[in-house]
Amino acid sequence: MERSSSTERFQPLTSISSGDGLEVTPDLYCLTIQIVNVVFYGHAGEGNDWVLIDAGMPKSADAIREAAEDRFGENNPPKAIILTHGHFDHIGGLIDLLEVWNVPVYAHPLEIPYLTGRKDYPKPDVSVEGGMVAKLSFMFPHEGIDLGPSVHPLANDHTVPFMPEWKWIHTPGHSEGHISLFRAADHAMIVGDAFVTVRQDALYKVITQEKEVSGPPRYLTTDWEKSEQSVDILQALDPHIAITGHGLPANGSWLRENLTKLATDFRQLAVPDHGKFVEDDQ
């Protein structure tokens, strides 16, 4: 089957360095900038239409634009920018990009207040167990940004602008209006931080990008019950390819086995034993 042979290709990859990109399918390009992934949807080629999903860490606008020029030609902005959610590591390049690209930004209605300056995310939980990244997370900005009239709510019918085969799925828990994107034709999924393939709370695993399917990054996840339900929803869709917000893209039987394990043992594998967003009864 052509699909499996083309997707098996990237399964054995064990490391990816900052600024590297990976063509996951002919129309899905995953660009890793520092510790976070952004996704280009569209076939490579001068002047081709394309969509950007998420906007990386602060100061990553140049890297995103350079990679976009390589893939889609100069002066060819995306048709739209779709946000899985509004955390600082997914919107960092956005303000700079919008200065050059006059394009609409779409997010879930519940995420819009964080993108229009009306709501701030809770402060990250530095008390959560799990190593250096959690301990350093107090430095992460948690204030919402104000994109003004550039940001629009995704439509209730789950269609994704300029991505006709795709549906958005509400996957809250990590943030209120978190979404993932799914294409039924090849079971490709753009997951955001609903689950990731690297343990964000273990610094050494972030640096080495050691691959494991893991729950959403702990220090910013505020609702573990909803996070668990979201993982169940995504697992039930049986993704064959998953591009997560952090860590390497995953596919095939490795993805199926590890995502099933995460969904089955979510409490044990993903939910911290203690922390300010954890209920006493969990």
Binding residues for Zn ion, rule: CB under 5 A, are: 87, 89, 193, 245
For Zn ion, which is the closer residue by CB, 7 or 134?
134
Residue 63's nearest CA partner among 26, 43, 33, 30 is 33
Q: What is the 3-state secondary structure (H, E, C) of 24-90?
A: EECCEEEEEECCEEEEEECCCCCCCCCEEECCCCCCCHHHHHHHHHHHHCCCCCCCCEECCCCCHHH
For Zn ion, which is the closer residue by CB, 27 or 193?
193
For Zn ion, which is the closer residue by CB, 87 or 108?
87
CA distances from residue 94 to 72, 86, 91, 138, 229 in whole angstroms, order as listed: 19, 10, 5, 22, 29
Write down the least CB distance from residue 131 to Zn ion, Å: 16
Write down the least CB distance from residue 218 to Zn ion, Å: 11
Which secondary-structure segment (H or E) carries 188? strand 188-192
Write down the least CB distance from residue 89 to Zn ion, Å: 4
C-beta of residue 174 within 8 angstroms of C-beta of residue 107 = no
Name the residue whose CB lies closest to Zn ion: 87
Interatomic CA distance for residues 176 and 197, integer angstroms: 21
Interatomic CA distance for residues 214 and 248, integer angstroms: 12
Write down the least CB distance from residue 1 to Zn ion, Å: 33
For Zn ion, which is the closer residue by CB, 19 or 26?
19
For Zn ion, which is the closer residue by CB, 3 or 276?
276
Write down the least CB distance from residue 59 to Zn ion, Å: 16
